[in-house]
Amino acid sequence: MTEPRILPGCAVLPPMELPKPKQEPSKKAEQPKRKKETAGRFAVINAFADMTLAGLDRSEIAVWLLLWRDTKPDGLAKTSQANLAQRAGVTERTARRAIGSLQRAKLLTVTYRGGLRRGVSTYRVHQLEREPQ
């Protein structure tokens, strides 16, 4: 059996877990909650990548990922369509179409539609509502 080929600079892989920094006693109580939240976020992105990603086009994927990343602890993401378009590398019209497609796929809900003199829109990103394809 031949040895696997190692790319230059990749002979040593980074550790799976970072060393734990020393913490004050009061911060240790927050640790389990933070780990649980992080695990939940990874579960959402893994489910999206495994079951939903293939059925979406590039703009829909970019918009969903940006809104998922922007989601605050209250479950809402607030941003303008112009900002989404700029960060996703698409036109505002394409960003609007992507938002509409994600709504029809039940991967996104617009909870507040912003506009001129009304502020930014508010979105709720859903984990996974579609069946695996």
Tens digit of pLDDT for each residue in 6-27?
A: 555 545 555 556 566 666 665 5
CATH of domain 32-125: 1.10.10.10
Farthest-apart Cα atoms in the chain, separation:
67
Tens digit of pLDDT for each residue in 95-129?
A: 999 999 999 999 999 998 888 888 899 999 987 64
pTM, whole model, 2 decimals?
0.67
Over range 73-94, report the average pLDDT: 94
Q: In what order do the strands lie in the sheet with 121-125?
A: 77-79, 121-125, 108-112
Domain ranges of the chain: 32-125
CA distance 82 to 6: 43
